[in-house]
Amino acid sequence: MENIEIFKTQDGSIGLYDKALDEVFHSKFGAKKEAFEKFIEPSLFYKDKPTKILDICYGIGYNTKCALENFSNIQLIDCIEINKELVLKSFEFEYDDKINEIIKNNLKKPDFIHFYIDDARCVIQKLDKKYDVIYHDGFAPYKQSVLWSEDFILKITSLMHENSIYCTYNHSKPVLCALYKANLTIGKVIKENKTIATIASFNPDLIQNKYSEIELGELNTKSAITYRDKNLNLSHFEIIENRKKEVELSLLPTLSQYKKQLTKQFQE
């Protein structure tokens, strides 16, 4: 792992820093805390139910490990990660010994946890089952837009049933717009009066803190134009450049124009 640096986060759990991308895998405030607050807690609807989980961008497994710790009836976890070395060493990082042993055993002989070590865009096209909970935890779009295109997100949502729950830390407008176009109800995960993550489902009854109509209106502005990767094979640079051109040519209002128009309507 020559491009990876290890550091301890404030809750004592291990975080990683990717030198090549100049990006951290986890919050400095706590990798385990972040996994629970942004992924596990929003999906606790399935805490005691038979549960099939898809963990996109497994990393060193905090979301999967935290799910194993908090869910009582997990039937299946499919984990996608492009970095083989991270996966093979994931049970060596500090966590509950019993949980790490489960990971280790399933790496040696897959039981209910299966690892797909490949580009997530390739894997997602081969999966043909429905998941109850999906964790989407890739690097941010400005580093890896390939993991956040509208086309990739549509593939992800095709693996959801009516009561499935999708969780991600990402609450950028292009990602929210992609989820909205997929006909999901989207909501905010809020801590200390701040939006820290996103939860979405086809079933609106499962979503608290739904985005308001005014907030959803922001998704019809230039700022929410999605990343596009029709054949799921473009490079990060190509996706970013194509979006930049689309924004420049778009006749949609800017976010500031939308907000000014709202203010004007309220004053009339």
Indicate the helix (H) or strand (E) that contains 262: helix 255-267
Q: Tell me the two tokens of residue 56.
A: 């996109």
Asked if residue 20 is part of any domain, the answer here is: no
Provide the pLDDT for residue 12. 56
Tokens of 121: 């865009």
Give the range of the structural domain holding residue 50, as residue numbers without chain letter: 25-267
Residue 1: predicted pLDDT: 53
What pLDDT, on a 0 to 100 scale, did the predictor assign at position 6? 57
Residue 6 located in a structural domain: no
Nearest one of 56, 53, 25, 24 to 121, comparing CA atoms: 56
Question: Does residue 174 lie in a domain region?
Answer: yes
Q: State yes or no: pLDDT of 187 exceeds 80.
A: yes
What's 79's domain CATH number? 3.40.50.150
Does the residue 4 lie in any domain? Answer: no
Residue 93 confidence (pLDDT): 84
Q: What are phi and psi of 6, to 5 degrees?
A: -105, 135
The Cα–Cα gap between 89 and 13 comes to: 15
Per the structure, the count of domains in the chain is 1
Encoded tokens for 128: 């043909």
Does any domain span residue 7?
Answer: no
**214 belongs to a structural domain:** yes
Whether 31 is covered by a domain: the verdict is yes
Q: pLDDT tens for residues 231-262?
A: 999 999 999 999 999 999 999 999 999 999 99
Greater confidence (22 vs 236) lies with 236
